[in-house]
């Protein structure tokens, strides 16, 4: 787990910084609310494709890739607009999950 956390903490900030530079260079300034709404819209589009798959319908795998990428980009843009250090936040959340899983296991429960 420690190796994984180091990878997350060492790489997400660089990705986040590059997205911030890219966004500022090529797109108009947007509010955090815009990016939050965009994130939810993109996640909704991804969910609609999953719903089609769940119903047994055909979905082009490229559509899933495109929407997953849109969700990722929107999340990074949202975090940048709110000055959220996503790497640090993810590490903290994973550490919390790890502690909770250990606690539950010790008590004979599943996460």
Whether residue 111 is contained in a domain is answered as: no
pLDDT at residue number 37: 98
Distance between CA atoms of residues 61 and 51, nearest Å = 14
If you average pLDDT over residues 21-42, what whole number do you get? Answer: 97
pLDDT at residue number 31: 97
Whether residue 37 is contained in a domain is answered as: yes
Return the exposure string of 69-94: e unless at least 16 CB atoms fall within 10 Å of the residue's CB, then b: ebbebbbbbbbbbeeeebbeeebeee
Reply yes or no on whether the pLDDT at 26 is more than 90. yes
CATH number at residue 22: 1.10.287.1080
Reply yes or no on whether the pLDDT at 111 is more than 90. no
Closest to 71 (Cα-Cα) out of 29, 25, 36, 30: 36
Give the model confidence (pLDDT) of 39-91 as tens digits.
Answer: 999 999 999 999 999 999 999 999 999 999 999 999 999 999 999 999 999 99
At residue 30 the predicted structure's pLDDT band, cuts being 50, 70 and 90, is very high
Q: Indicate the number of domains in the chain.
A: 1
**Percent of the chain whose pLDDT exceeds 70:** 100
Residue with the bigger pLDDT between 70 and 8: it is: 70
pLDDT at residue number 1: 74
Q: Domain residues for 14?
A: 2-106
Closest to 88 (Cα-Cα) out of 19, 18, 10, 9: 9
């Amino acid at each position: 787990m420690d190796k994984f956390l180091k990878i997350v903490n060492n790489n997400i900030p660089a990705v986040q910084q590059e997205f911030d530079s890219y966004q500022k260079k090529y797109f108009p300034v947007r509010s955090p609310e815009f990016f939050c709404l965009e994130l939810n819209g993109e996640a909704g589009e991804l969910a609609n494709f999953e719903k089609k798959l769940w119903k047994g319908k055909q979905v082009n795998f490229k559509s899933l890739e495109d929407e997953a990428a849109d969700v990722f980009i929107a999340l990074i843009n949202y975090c940048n607009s709110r000055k959220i250090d996503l790497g640090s936040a993810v590490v903290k959340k994973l550490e919390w999950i790890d502690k909770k899983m250990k606690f539950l296991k010790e008590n004979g429960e599943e996460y």
